[in-house]
């Protein structure tokens, strides 16, 4: 290689090779530059000085590049990187709180999720986490929403450009759970993140958690559904509750219902938590539609079952007396440090 070819090559290598690779290629004993120096003695005397100083310049350029990049790498090594930190820890600030000073703890949502899963496990349920990227079949078709069904619009769904869907509810897992845990009896809870393209306010987020539950066996009725959900909520809220089941609409259940509990804070007298009604609507639920059972490989003539989907964030607001769902994702340390 002549000098101008080497200079062109260096320009590419500086961007593509690591400092060590640069060193090996150019500076090491058998590298390109020592070879060039070696050649000087074969050159005409009048060209040697000019050539030697150009090779020296190239050497300096490479050494400086290696040194600068090493410093950046060293800096990065000592940077504290905590991907779970509730702020952009990679931003340089004058005085950043150190992770140890924060005496970190799990997020209140995760604490509540653990509590709830613990209750269901003790009630004999399996647990399977839901996916955060899914497809049309699991979001809609397996749940009895044929293509073009108007109820698809009830869910403000985010789609990727290549046709995948960010699950708008954990019901996307029903088909997988029926297939994985069937034949019945099936008892499983399916916690996971959901995403909806909707405006946020004190009780609505674009990203939130749901916990889906399904129970399938011979002779299962709405009475089993009410008993199971009531039992779980009383254990979770640590108080006796009155319950109501009122009509709703979901394509994947029949009948479709909404589970309503007496306000655990005011004994139905009315308070800010229950919007002064004495009752709180907590979740959608119902008997699993026969088409959903069939799609999951289960014969609806032999088996029946119920399902529900409850919002973990809203439960956490109730349990912890938090007045705005957005606080759960703000990353405000003063708020988080309370938990
Ligand atoms: C559903 O998502 C149904 N898949 C529930 C279901 C499952 C019905 C199985 C029947 C059988 P819904 O859209 O109502 O239903 O949401 C259920 C719960 O998720 C709500 O009660 C609420 O607690 C929570 N949720 C819904 N949207 C939001 C939101 N934007 N922010 C926070 N929580 C929400």
User: Residue 174 C-alpha to ligand 1 middle, in angstroms?
Assistant: 14
Q: Are residues 138 and 195 in the same domain?
A: yes
Pocket test residue of 171, 197, 248, 284 for ligand 1, highest count of atoms within 8 A of CB:
284
Is 156 touching ligand 1 by the criterion CB < 6 Å?
no
Nearest to 17 by CA among 29, 31, 2: 31
Residues 185 and 262 in one domain: yes
Atom of ligand 1 lying closest to residue 283 CA? 21
Residue 151 carries which DSSP code? Answer: G
Model confidence at 77, in pLDDT bands (50, 70, 90)? low
The CA 226 to ligand 1 mean position distance, Å, reads: 17
Total of domains in the chain: 2
Which has the closest alpha carbon to 120: 239, 233, 284?
233
Q: Which of 157, 249, 281, 314 to mutate to test the pocket of ligand 1 (most atoms within 8 A of CB)?
A: 314
**131 and 16 fall within a common domain:** no
What are the DSSP calls for 293-339, one per residue? HHHTT--TTT-EEEEEEEEHHHHHHHHHT-S-TTHHHH--HHHHTT-
Residue 100 maps to a domain: no
Q: What is the pLDDT of residue 51?
A: 86
Percent of the chain with pLDDT over 90: 59
Claim to verify: residue 138 and residue 274 sit in the same structural domain: yes
- Decide which of 186 and 103 is more confident: 186
Cα(253)–Cα(16) distance, rounded to whole angstroms? 57
Residue of 311, 315, 316 best suited for mutating to test ligand 1, as the one with most atoms within 8 Å of CB: 311
Confidence of residue 199 (pLDDT cuts 50, 70, 90): very high
Q: Is the CB of 204 under 6 A from ligand 1?
A: yes
Location of structure tokens 């020592």: 34
Retrieve residue 143's tokens: 């749940």
The tens digit of pLDDT for each residue in 241-281 reads: 999 999 999 999 999 999 999 998 888 999 988 889 999 99
Q: Are residues 154 and 219 in the same domain?
A: yes
Domain of residue 131 covers 110-336
Interatomic CA distance for residues 246 and 316, integer angstroms: 23
Q: What is residue 40's three-state secondary structure?
A: helix
- pTM to 2 decimals? 0.73
The separation between the first and the last C-alpha atoms of the chain, rounded to the nearest angstrom, is 65
Closest CA to 139 of 121, 124, 157, 126: 157
Residue 254 labeled ligand binder: yes
Q: What is the pLDDT of residues 4-15, one digit of tens each?
A: 788 788 888 887
Q: Tell me, yes or no, whether 102 lies in a domain.
A: no
Secondary structure element (H or E) that encloses residue 122, with its range: helix 108-122
Taking the centre of ligand 1 as the mean of its atom positions, its distance from the CA of residue 328, in whole angstroms, is 17
Ordered DSSP codes for 154-185: GS--EE-TTS-EE-SSGGGGHHHHHHHHPSSP
Could you tell me if the CB of 196 is within 6 A of ligand 1?
yes
The predicted model gives 109-135 an average pLDDT of 95
- Whether residues 62 and 187 share a domain: the answer is no
318 with 263: CB under 8 angstroms? no
């Amino acid at each position: 290689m002549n000098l101008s070819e080497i200079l062109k090559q260096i320009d590419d290598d500086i961007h593509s090779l690591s400092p060590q690779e640069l060193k090996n290629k150019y500076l090491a004993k058998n590298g390109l530059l020592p070879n060039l120096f070696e050649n000087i003695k074969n050159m005409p005397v009048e060209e040697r000085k000019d050539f030697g100083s150009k090779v020296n310049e190239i050497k300096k350029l490479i050494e400086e590049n290696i040194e600068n990049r090493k410093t950046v790498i060293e800096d990065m090594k000592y940077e504290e990187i905590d991907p779970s930190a509730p702020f952009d820890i990679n931003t340089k600030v004058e005085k950043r709180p150190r992770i140890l000073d924060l005496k970190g703890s799990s997020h209140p949502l995760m604490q509540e999720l653990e509590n709830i899963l613990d209750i269901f496990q003790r009630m004999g349920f399996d647990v399977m986490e839901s996916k955060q990227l899914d497809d049309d079949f699991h979001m809609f078709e397996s749940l009895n929403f044929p293509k073009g069904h108007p109820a698809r619009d009830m869910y403000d769904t985010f789609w990727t450009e290549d046709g995948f869907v960010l699950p708008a509810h954990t019901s996307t897992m029903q088909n997988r759970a029926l297939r994985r845990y069937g034949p019945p009896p099936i008892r499983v809870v399916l916690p996971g993140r959901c995403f909806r393209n909707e405006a946020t306010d004190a009780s609505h987020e674009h990203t939130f958690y749901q916990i889906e539950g399904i129970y399938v066996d011979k002779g299962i009725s709405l009475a089993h559904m009410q008993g199971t959900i009531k039992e779980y909520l009383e254990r979770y809220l640590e108080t006796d509750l009155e319950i109501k089941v009122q009509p709703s609409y979901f394509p994947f259940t029949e009948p479709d219902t909404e589970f309503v509990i007496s306000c655990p804070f005011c004994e139905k007298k009315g308070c800010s938590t229950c919007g002064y009604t004495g009752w709180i609507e907590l979740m959608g639920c119902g008997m699993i539609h026969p088409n959903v059972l069939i799609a999951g490989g289960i014969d609806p003539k032999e088996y029946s079952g119920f399902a529900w989907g409850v919002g973990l964030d809203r439960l956490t607001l109730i349990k912890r007396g938090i007045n705005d769902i957005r606080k759960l994702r703000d990353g405000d340390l003063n708020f988080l440090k309370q938990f």
